């Protein structure tokens, strides 16, 4: 079947023709001719048009780990009308979910979060109270591919959130109203270079999913403290799977007006336990964060 071209020159994926180099080109392989500037312009115009368009978003998700991606998937599915912008500091989105734990490949997900695996079409082995996906990367790559295919989602990776935008209303009540961003390579060099000014994205809802404390983790929770919006961090407690997973899902909420925390970042805010290498709470918390965002936008 020939590729389907639409009026705006986008192609959909219904072209299932097999790509057989030898058969198609009989040993004389040629590419369509191109000029170097065409390649640059093809990227530049799309990237900067995206930045221009997303300077005002409906929802910004900070961090594309298992919680951030689960949240994006549910929100983008529920609300195709929303402009959802995901910012990920790393070059590779996925956070810690490329491995199951202790650098091992299988991923454990406690029930009832196995329902999400069926929804996104990831196979697993059933162990009774939990299920095991054969490779964490199968979960992460499947989820990531589905999120990226959604027309209302934009992902900017290698882009760090450096600060929160906080507005005050006429009564002095403060609200998180956006994020301050920079390319991560710039963000990492503020100590050695001066005046590398950042960019901003405003949105009525920011969902922070930056993970627990680490080189960049728990970013928004920590910034709430230094900005005077939170007295002190609760700090993540020791490992207790049975306490940790429900605490993270049940605790997922708008912690300050305009800012929802999800995933392990919440453990630093609330002082809840870590669960170690079981990922059901990241899925559940991400989905709850999506619901919270919908609630805020609908009120
Ligand atoms: O790169 C970070 C990662 O991909 C990204 N991130 C952090 N700070 C950022 C910033 N701007 C943009 N300032 C930033 N991006 O956020 C992502 C966090 O992913 P994660 O996998 O670390 O967190 P998660 O909460 O989605 O999943 C946690 C998984 C864990 S940790 C744990 C334990 O330690 O016990 N158990 C589980 C299941």
| DSSP annotation string for 19-84 | --HHHHHTT---PPP--HHHHHHHHHHHHHHHHHHHTB-SEEEE--SHHHHHHHHHHHHH-TTS-E
Q: What is the mean pLDDT of residues 180-192?
A: 92
Q: What is the pLDDT of residues 107-142, one digit of tens each?
A: 999 999 999 999 999 999 999 999 999 999 999 999
Ligand 1 neighbours by CB, cut-off 6 Å:
62-68, 87-90, 95-97, 160-161, 209-212, 216-217, 219, 263-264, 274-276, 279, 282
User: At residue 70, does pLDDT exceed 90?
Assistant: yes
Centre of ligand 1 to C-alpha 6, Å, is: 38
The pLDDT of residue 114 is 98
| pLDDT confidence bin for 275, thresholds 50/70/90 | very high
| pLDDT confidence bin for 194, thresholds 50/70/90 | confident
Q: Distance of CA 56 to CAs 200, 203, 204, 206, 299, Å?
A: 9, 6, 9, 12, 19
User: At residue 49, does pLDDT exceed 90?
Assistant: yes
Q: Is the peptide bond before 141 cis (omega within 30 degrees of 0)?
A: no
Of 67, 69, 96, the residue with max ligand 1 atoms within 8 A of its CB, to mutate for a pocket test, comes to 96
Atom 23 of ligand 1, residue of closest alpha carbon: 211
Centre of ligand 1 to C-alpha 41, Å, is: 33
| pLDDT confidence bin for 182, thresholds 50/70/90 | very high
Q: What is the pLDDT of residues 130-176, one digit of tens each?
A: 999 999 999 999 999 999 999 999 999 999 999 999 999 889 899 99
What percent of the chain is predicted at pLDDT more than 70?
A: 94
Enclosing H/E stretch for 207: strand 205-208
The pLDDT of residue 1 is 36
Which residues, in sequence order, are CB contacts of 133 under 8 Å at separation 6+?
A: 100, 106, 107, 109, 117, 122, 123, 124, 139
ipTM over 0.85: yes
Give the phi and the psi of residue 176 in degrees, each rounded to 5.
-70, 125
Rounded CA separation 55/132 (Å): 40
Centre of ligand 1 to C-alpha 213, Å, is: 9
Q: Distance of CA 130 to CAs 122, 124, 140, 213, Å?
A: 14, 10, 18, 27
Centre of ligand 1 to C-alpha 240, Å, is: 19
Q: What is the mean pLDDT of residues 242-254?
A: 98
Apex 200 CA angle, 195 and 201, nearest 5: 165
Q: What is the mean pLDDT of residues 80-93?
A: 98
| pLDDT confidence bin for 53, thresholds 50/70/90 | very high
HEC string of 217-277 equals CCHHHHHHHHCCCCCCCCCCEEECHHHHHHHHHHHCEEEECCEEECCCHHHHHHCCEECCC
User: At residue 6, does pLDDT exceed 60?
Assistant: no
Q: Is the pTM of this model over 0.90?
A: yes
Residue at token pair 């312009």: 41
């Amino acid at each position: 079947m020939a590729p389907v071209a639409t009026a705006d020159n986008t192609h959909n994926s219904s072209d299932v023709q097999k790509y057989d180099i030898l058969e198609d080109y009989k040993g004389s392989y040629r590419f369509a001719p191109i000029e170097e500037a065409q390649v640059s312009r093809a990227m530049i115009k799309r990237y900067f048009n995206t930045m221009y368009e997303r300077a005002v978003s409906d929802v910004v998700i900070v961090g594309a780990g298992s919680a951030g991606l689960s949240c994006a998937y549910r929100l983008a599915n529920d609300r195709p009308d929303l402009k959802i912008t995901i910012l990920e500091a790393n070059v590779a989105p996925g956070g810690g979910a490329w491995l199951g734990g202790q650098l091992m490949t299988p991923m454990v997900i406690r029930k009832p979060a196995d329902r999400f695996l069926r929804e996104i079409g990831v196979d697993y082995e059933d162990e009774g109270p939990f299920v095991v996906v054969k490779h964490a990367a199968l979960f992460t790559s499947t989820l990531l591919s589905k999120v990226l295919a959604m027309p209302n989602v934009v992902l900017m990776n290698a882009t760090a959130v450096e600060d929160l935008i906080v507005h005050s209303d006429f009564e002095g009540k403060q609200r998180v109203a956006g994020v301050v961003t920079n390319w991560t390579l710039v963000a990492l060099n503020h100590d050695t270079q001066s005046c590398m000014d950042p960019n901003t994205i405003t949105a009525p809802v920011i969902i922070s999913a930056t993970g627990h404390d680490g080189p960049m983790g728990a970013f928004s929770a920590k910034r709430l403290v230094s900005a005077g919006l939170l007295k002190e961090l609760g700090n993540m407690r020791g490992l207790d799977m049975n306490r940790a997973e429900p605490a993270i899902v049940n605790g997922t909420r708008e912690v300050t007006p305009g800012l929802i925390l999800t995933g392990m970042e919440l453990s630093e805010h609330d002082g809840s336990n870590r669960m170690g290498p079981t990922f059901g709470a990241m899925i559940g918390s991400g989905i709850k964060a999506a619901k919270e965002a919908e609630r805020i936008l609908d009120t």
